[in-house]
């Protein structure tokens, strides 16, 4: 009767033991991180390939971490050794200082403060700024010539601004800009970065925020307004590296120093264009950029062209090794989280059935975790658990708890009350009632909870990409940035297929644990 | 007169909500008799029954088995030695007929062979062909067959006392009549001490050696069927007896 349930527990346990634990960084390994936008990935890839070409160190890539906070916490806690960062971001977002100062002041302030507070080093800047700028489609300037932001102030009350979410909230973005220039728009529309350009070209918005090295500026005919009151802080691109890593591998300072002043804004715009519009991968573009600087050693310079804009199946086939690895990562993350979820939630459900007075309160509390947006939950994980597999599994595990606890508790509580009453009246102990009556009768309901949790977990695991845990979310996030449906689908379709498979498999288990006679 | 097996002395029961369901009840059940507790819902009859195997305890007063208070007995051991039948059979839906009937012997640690033999004997006793029925699940039985299995289960470890909570209550009239007839013949053969709860006055008169009438937690009268019919102690009992159908009660 309970044989089925025992087998399921054993299978879960075996799976849990077989899943590889996250690899922790070793001495001869440099972990390079990046944020989740193309230029950051490109710069990280340039760092990584340069280190690989000029040292014996192995490089592990943790590209596409979700934003400044994630990257910086990862670096501070030693989960990564190095990532590309901008001086302005260091000053405003990390140090929370007012957005003022010219580029030299900004660099010196962040250098001194980062060294003092965290022993983190800013490399010599790479030679370009990726600062904010306001842009207006050239067609809009026909009847009112615009050159500077001060010019814009006069007509802004009749214009619609389309800005990124970050820009709207950052002190060195829209709020500061409004104060410094006295700028007010008729309407401000929050928009995703990739959509703003199209919206501007279509005349939906009149003004947008751009990054000065954005590749799309090469194709869209936009006027970049001069920041005549020097409001936008300098965003010089640089590398941010741990002091302990430099102490261990001093040669890294020298090697990465080769990139000092190596790129200007125009070069970066062209490189970004190849990534954003050309659909090329950061590996290829980084290799070309390093080759052009003659920084790669002989054989590393040769590259094979990566096909793009091909059919979904051809693309997926060309990426099959990577996709297979991503699928395994995905399943490991989801399986581990679900296994741990079962290990906690089922006993908790059993316990709550014995303490029904507090049960609803506890379950409602666990239910609240479902309302935390997943990206926020991941962000909470980083200060405590760093990045990679551990925080991802913990976050997914938290999401898996609710359906299992809820179903275990309800299943046990509502299991055949007459049979439970008879069992008690004939002298079964409470333990025997649980073991022989409640648990077998509740097993299908418990499995239904596990099944729900399984499908939720497989879906949510796509977000693990944001904290460098891999999985099928990696191609989805990359594809979203490149606005490349093929790449998105190469992650989304296997992920959906996995969810269906898990649902089908757990549905089978559900039938299998259903005792005969019920 | 036979010696007293079960006794209720000055028993009252109040729930936490303050509702009083039993009010200073005294009664004795003597060896080998069938005492029927009759009353409408809320009269306290089921609460009283459940005190005999420790499923409920009185707020005041004493419940004794062979002059030993139920309160001091190990409730698990007590229940394994007192048969119990409830209205809807209460069979474990995921256990076969054989497993259900063998439940108490299993709890008592009988050898499998002895259990199998006992199941066979009991299924014969309740007129269910062991070969046909032992491997069936409750869902594959009619309600009358399920109730027979419940009887067999209650008798499986040969308890001296059997408690029955409206055992025929959920059956259709024909099945109920047939099972009552078989119950009477079993009663003659097995000589158990039994307490049965019912709200059916015909059933009470037909099956009970003595009948105890409960109303609003008070015991109004206890006596044989002729006692009640000839000398009802209360207007309520007169009314109650008026409700019987004019049939073949004896």
Cβ <8 Å between A422 and B96? no
Helix-, strand-, coil-residue percentages of chain B, each rounded to 5 = 40, 25, 35
- DSSP for A299-339, written as a single string: GGG---PPP-S--HHHHHHHTHHHHHHHHHHHHHHHHHHHH
H-state helical runs in A65-102: 67-76, 87-89
**Model confidence over A427-450: pLDDT tens digits?**
999 999 999 999 999 999 999 999
| Token duo for residue B39 | 């009353």
Give the per-residue SS3 of A357-382: HHHHHHHHHHHHHHHCCHHHHHHHHH
The CA distance from B216 to A121, in Å, is 86
What confidence tens digit (pLDDT) does each residue in A206-237 have? 899 988 888 888 778 888 898 888 888 888 99
Q: Looking at the complex, report in whole angstroms how far the Cα of residue A10 sits from the nearest Cα belonging to chain B.
A: 23
Task: Give the model's confidence band at B249: pLDDT under 50 very low, under 70 low, under 90 confident, else very high.
Answer: very low
> In the prediction, which pLDDT does A297 show?
74
CB contact, 8 Å: A433 with chain B?
no
d(CA A15, CA A8): 11
Question: Which of the four pLDDT bands, split at 50, 70 and 90, describes residue A411?
Answer: very high
Residue with tokens 């979820």: A341
> How many beta-carbon pairs under 8 angstroms link A with B?
74
Contact A425 B78 (CB under 8 A): no
How far apart, in whole angstroms, are the C-alpha atoms of residue A35 and residue A135?
A: 24
On whether any CB of chain B is under 8 Å from the CB of A512, the answer is no
Out of B76, B88, B96, name the one closest to residue A427 (CB): B76
Q: How far apart are CA A178 and CA A158, in angstroms?
A: 15
Q: What tens digit of pLDDT does each residue of A87-115 get?
A: 988 988 899 888 766 888 889 999 999 99
**Chain A residues lying within 8 Å of B86, measured CB to CB:** 418, 421-422, 425
- Contact residues, chain A, for B53 at CB < 8 Å: 425
Average pLDDT, chain B: 91
pLDDT at position A101, please?
Answer: 63
Cα distance between residue A368 and residue A384, in whole Å: 20
Contact A426 B103 (CB under 8 A): yes
- Say which of B139, B153, B154 has its CB closest to residue A517: B139
Q: Give A-chain residues touching B94 at CB under 8 angstroms.
A: 1, 440-441, 515-518
The pLDDT of A446-455, averaged and rounded, is 94
Other CB atoms within 10 Å distance of the CB of residue A14:
11
Contact of A363 with A307, CB cutoff 8 Å: no
Pairing of strands A207-211, A237-242: unpaired
Predicted pLDDT at A19: 43
Residue to test with chain A: of B83, B92, B164, most A Cβ within 10 A = B92
- The DSSP symbol for A185 reads -
Identity of the residue in B92, B107, B137 whose CB atom sits nearest the CB atom of A437: B92
What tokens were used for A329?
């990562």
Q: Residue A465: pLDDT band by 50, 70, 90 thresholds?
A: confident
Tell whether B56 is within 8 A of chain A (Cβ). no
Contact check, Cβ <8 Å, A426/B94: no
| Cβ distance of A429 and B139 shorter than 8 Å | no
Using CB atoms, pick whichever of B77, B90, B138 lies closest to residue A421: B90
Q: Who contacts A11 (Cβ-Cβ below 8 Å, separation ≥6)? A: none
Q: Is the pLDDT of residue A51 over 80?
A: yes
| Per-residue pLDDT tens over the stretch A188-212 | 888 777 678 878 888 888 899 988 8
Positive or negative, the Cα torsion across B227, B231, B26, B54?
A: positive
Distance from CA of A420 to the nearest CA of B (A): 8
Q: How confident is the model at residue A164 (pLDDT cuts 50, 70, 90)?
A: confident
Residues of chain A with Cβ-Cβ distance to B91 below 8 Å are 419, 422
Is residue B212 very low, low, confident or very high in pLDDT (cuts 50, 70, 90)? very high
CA A284 to chain centre: 22
pLDDT tens digit sequence for B54-104: 999 999 999 999 989 999 999 999 999 999 999 888 999 999 999 999 999
B94 vs A440: CB contact, 8 Å cut-off?
yes
In the predicted model, is pLDDT for residue A306 greater than 70? no
pLDDT of A152 strictly over 70: yes
Give dist(CA A179, CA A182) in Å, integer. Answer: 5
Give the ipTM of the model, two decimals please: 0.90
Token code pair at residue A434? 């649980």
pLDDT for res A382 = 73
Q: Do B76 and A429 touch (CB under 8 A)?
A: yes
Q: Quick one: pLDDT at residue A13?
A: 46
Write out residues 342-371 of A within 8 Å (CB-CB) of B: none
Instruction: Please give the distance of CA A235 from its chain centroid, rounded to a whole number.
Output: 22
- The pLDDT score that the predictor gives to residue A6 is 55
Contact A419 B93 (CB under 8 A): yes
Q: What is the pLDDT of residue A303?
A: 44
Closest-CA residue in chain A for B153?
A: A426
**Cα A458 to Cα A478: distance, rounded to the nearest angstrom:** 19
Task: Choose the closest CB to B107 out of A419, A428, A516.
Answer: A428
Nearest to B94 among A425, A429, A515 (CB): A515
Is residue B195 within 8 angstroms of chain A, CB to CB?
Answer: no
| Angle between helical axes of A389-414 and A439-460 (0-180°, round to 10) | 150
What's the order of all strands across the beta sheet hosting B4-14? B20-30, B4-14, B60-65, B68-69
pLDDT band of A241, cuts 50, 70, 90: very high
Q: Is it the case that residue B250 has pLDDT exceeding 90?
A: no
Please identify which residue in the block is written with the tokens 């009477």. Answer: B184
* CA distance linking residue B170 with residue B172, whole number of Å: 7
Tell me the shortest Cα–Cα distance from B89 to chain A, in angstroms: 8
CA distance A108 to B151: 91
% pLDDT > 90, chain A: 40
Nearest to A427 among B89, B91, B104 (CB): B104
Least confident span in A46-60, A463-477, B83-97, B151-165:
A463-477
Nearest CA-CA distance, residue B110 and chain A, Å: 15
Instruction: Give tens-digit pLDDT for A2-26.
Output: 455 555 554 554 444 444 334 444 4
Q: Give the closest residue to B7 by CA, choosing from B38, B39, B36, B31.
A: B31
What pLDDT, on a 0 to 100 scale, did the predictor assign at position A172? 76
Structure tokens at A411: 């299943």
CA distance B80 to chain A (A): 5
Percentage above 70 pLDDT, chain B: 98
Give tens-digit pLDDT for B14-37: 988 888 899 999 999 999 999 999
Please name the residue of chain B whose CA is at the shortest distance from the CA of residue A443. Answer: B94
For position B1, what pLDDT does the model report? 61
Measure B5 CA to nearest chain A CA, in Å: 19
Contact call for A416 and B92, based on CB within 8 A: yes
**Average pLDDT over chain A, rounded to an integer:** 85
Instruction: Provide mean pLDDT across the span B155-179.
Output: 91
Of B69, B58, B54, the closest CA to residue B15 belongs to B58
Mean pLDDT of B236-245: 85
pTM above 0.80? Answer: no
Strand ranges in A66-123 using DSSP code E only, listed in sequence order:
82-86, 120-122
A350-401 confidence digits (pLDDT tens) = 999 888 889 999 999 999 988 888 777 877 777 778 777 888 899 999 999 9
Cβ under 8 Å to A: B residues 89-148: 89-96, 103-104, 107, 137-140
Given a contact cutoff of 8 angstroms between Cβ atoms, the answer to whether A382 and A325 are in contact is no
pLDDT at A244: 92
The model's pLDDT over A314-358, given as tens digits with 9 standing for 90+, comes to 888 888 888 899 999 999 999 999 999 999 999 999 999 888 889
With contact defined as beta carbons under 8 Å apart, do A55 and A251 qualify? yes
| pLDDT value of position A202 | 81
- List the 409-428 stretch of A: residues with Cβ below 8 A of B: 416, 418-419, 421-428
């Amino acid at each position: 009767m309970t044989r089925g349930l025992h087998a399921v527990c054993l299978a879960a346990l075996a799976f849990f033991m077989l899943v590889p634990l996250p690899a922790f960084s070793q001495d001869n390994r440099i972990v390079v991180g990046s944020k989740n936008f193309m230029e950051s990935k490109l710069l990280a890839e340039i760092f990584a390939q340069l280190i690989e070409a000029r040292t014996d160190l192995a490089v592990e890539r943790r590209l596409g971490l979700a934003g400044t906070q994630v990257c910086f916490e990862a670096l501070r806690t030693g989960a990564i050794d190095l990532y590309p960062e901008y001086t302005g971001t260091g000053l405003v977002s990390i140090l929370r200082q007012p957005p003022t100062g010219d580029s030299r002041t900004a660099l010196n302030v962040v250098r001194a403060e980062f060294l003092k507070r965290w022993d983190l080093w800013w490399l010599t800047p790479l030679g370009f700024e990726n600062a904010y700028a306001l842009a207006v489609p050239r067609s809009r300037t026909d009847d009112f010539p615009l050159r500077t932001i001060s010019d814009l102030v006069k007509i802004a009350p009749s214009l619609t601004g389309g800005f990124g979410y970050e820009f709207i909230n950052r002190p060195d973005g829209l709020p500061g800009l409004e104060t410094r220039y006295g700028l007010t728009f008729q309407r401000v529309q929050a928009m995703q970065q990739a959509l703003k350009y199209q919206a501007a070209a279509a005349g939906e918005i009149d003004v947008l925020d751009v990054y000065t090295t954005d590749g799309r500026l090469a194709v869209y005919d936009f006027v970049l307004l001069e920041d005549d009151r020097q409001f936008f802080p300098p965003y010089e691109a640089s590398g941010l590296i741990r002091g302990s890593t430099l102490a261990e591998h001093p040669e890294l300072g020298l090697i990465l120093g080769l990139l000092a002043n190596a790129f200007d804004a125009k070069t970066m715009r062209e490189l970004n264009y190849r990534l954003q519009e050309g659909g090329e991968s950061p590996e290829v573009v980084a290799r070309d950029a390093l080759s052009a600087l003659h920084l790669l050693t002989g054989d590393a310079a040769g590259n094979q062209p990566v096909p793009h804009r091909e059919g979904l199946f051809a693309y997926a086939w060309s990426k099959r090794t990577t996709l297979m690895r991503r699928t395994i990562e995905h399943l490991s993350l989801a399986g581990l989280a679900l296994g741990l979820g079962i290990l906690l939630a089922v006993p908790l459900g059993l316990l709550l059935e014995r303490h029904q007075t507090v049960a609803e309160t506890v379950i409602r509390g666990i239910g609240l975790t479902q309302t935390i947006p997943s990206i926020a939950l991941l962000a909470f994980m980083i200060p405590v658990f760093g990045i990679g597999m551990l925080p991802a599994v913990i976050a997914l595990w938290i999401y898996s708890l609710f359906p299992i606890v809820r179903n275990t508790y309800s299943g046990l509580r509502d299991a055949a009350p007459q049979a439970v009453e008879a069992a008690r009246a004939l002298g079964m102990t409470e333990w025997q009632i649980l073991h022989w009556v409640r648990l077998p009768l509740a097993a299908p309901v418990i499995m239904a909870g596990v099944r729900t949790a399984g499908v939720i977990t497989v879906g949510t695991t796509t977000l693990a990409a944001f904290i460098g845990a891999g999985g099928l979310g990696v191609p989805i996030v990359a594809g979203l940035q490149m606005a490349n449906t093929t790449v998105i689908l190469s992650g989304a379709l296997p992920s959906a297929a996995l969810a269906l498979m898990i649902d089908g498999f757990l549905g089978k288990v559900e039938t299998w644990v259903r005792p005969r006679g019920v | 007169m036979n010696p007293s097996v079960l006794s209720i002395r000055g028993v009252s029961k109040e729930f936490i909500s303050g509702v009083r369901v039993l009010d200073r009840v005294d009664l004795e059940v003597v060896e080998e008799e069938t005492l029927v507790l009759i009353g409408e819902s809320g009269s306290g009859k089921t609460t009283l029954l459940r005190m005999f195997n420790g499923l409920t305890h009185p707020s005041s007063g004493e419940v004794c088995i062979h002059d030993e208070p139920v309160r001091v007995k190990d409730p698990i051991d007590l229940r394994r030695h007192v048969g119990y039948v409830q209205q809807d059979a209460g069979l474990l839906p995921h256990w076969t007929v054989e497993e259900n009937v063998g439940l108490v012997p299993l709890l008592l640690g009988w050898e499998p062979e002895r259990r199998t033999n006992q199941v066979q004997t009991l299924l014969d006793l309740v007129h269910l062909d062991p070969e046909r029925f032992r491997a069936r699940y409750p869902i594959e039985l009619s309600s009358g067959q399920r109730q027979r299995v419940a009887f067999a289960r209650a008798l499986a470890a040969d308890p001296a006392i059997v408690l029955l909570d409206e055992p025929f209550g959920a059956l259709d009239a024909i099945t109920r009549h047939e099972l009552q007839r078989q119950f009477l013949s079993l009663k003659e053969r097995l000589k158990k001490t039994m307490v049965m709860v019912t709200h059916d006055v015909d059933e009470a008169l037909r099956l009970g050696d003595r009948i105890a009438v409960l109303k609003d937690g008070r015991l109004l009268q206890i006596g044989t069927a002729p006692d009640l019919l000839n000398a009802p102690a209360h207007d309520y009992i007169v009314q109650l007896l008026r409700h019987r159908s004019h049939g073949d009660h004896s």
